[in-house]
Amino acid sequence: MSPPTLEDIRKLVQELTDLAPALPESVPLAKKTDRISKILASTQGEDEFHTFNRRYNALFGVDCRIGPRMRYVTRGKYGMLAWCEYIRSIKLDDPSMQSAVVELRLKSLIKELEFLV
Contacting residues for 7 by C-beta, under 8 A, at least 6 apart: none
21 within a domain of the structure (yes/no): yes
> How much is the mean pLDDT over the chain?
96
Confidence of residue 1 (pLDDT cuts 50, 70, 90): confident
Range of 29's domain?
Answer: 6-116
CA distance 68 to 99: 24
pLDDT per position as a tens digit, 34-64: 999 999 999 999 999 999 999 999 999 998 8
- Classify residue 60: in a domain, yes or no: yes
Question: Is 1 domain-assigned?
Answer: no
Please count the structural domains in the chain: 1
Answer yes or no: is 102 within a domain: yes
**What is the tens place of the pLDDT at every residue in 69-109?**
999 999 999 999 999 999 999 999 999 999 999 999 999 99
Q: What is the pLDDT of residue 88?
A: 96
Domain presence at residue 94:
yes
